[in-house]
Amino acid sequence: MQSITTAEQFYDVISDQSRSIVKFQAGWCPDCRVMDMFIGPIEEKYDEYEWYDVDRDVLPEIAEKYDVMGIPSLLVFENGEKKAHLHSANAKSPDQVTDFLEGITI
């Protein structure tokens, strides 16, 4: 998962033609560390997406703009538009993340 550290980089990534998933997290977040332990195989399985990571404390304006109220959150983008959002309350297990990804219709 590639890290995004600037707003410019974020907008470049989401405006790309490919589908992307951006994981919003923070270093102090225990649920984010739990997700880190299981997300690798999910990234490999859903390789039709480009996967990115944003520290919501580094880019709070981006988190606010895209309604990231809790972390970890996964946002799916295509052609600059947010297509889906897995909120933190529903992102606590591999099954929840997989069910979310299976349910995306783009």
Can you list the alpha helix ranges (DSSP code H) found in 1-106? 7-14, 30-45, 60-65, 94-102
Q: Token digits for 47?
A: 């390789």
Task: Provide the residue-wise pLDDT of the chain in tens; the chain has 106 residues.
Answer: 899 999 999 999 999 878 999 999 999 999 999 999 999 999 999 999 999 999 999 999 999 999 999 999 999 999 889 999 999 888 889 999 999 999 987 6
Whole-number pLDDT of residue 106: 66
Calpha distance 56→35 (Å, rounded):
15
Among residues 49, 31, 48, the alpha carbon closest in space to that of 96 is found at: 31
| Residue 75 β-bridge partners | 22, 85
Whole-number pLDDT of residue 40: 95
Q: What is the maximal distance between C-alpha atoms in the chain?
A: 33
> pTM of the entire structure?
0.91
Gap between the terminal Cα atoms of the chain: 22
Among residues 35, 24, 30, the alpha carbon closest in space to that of 57 is found at: 24
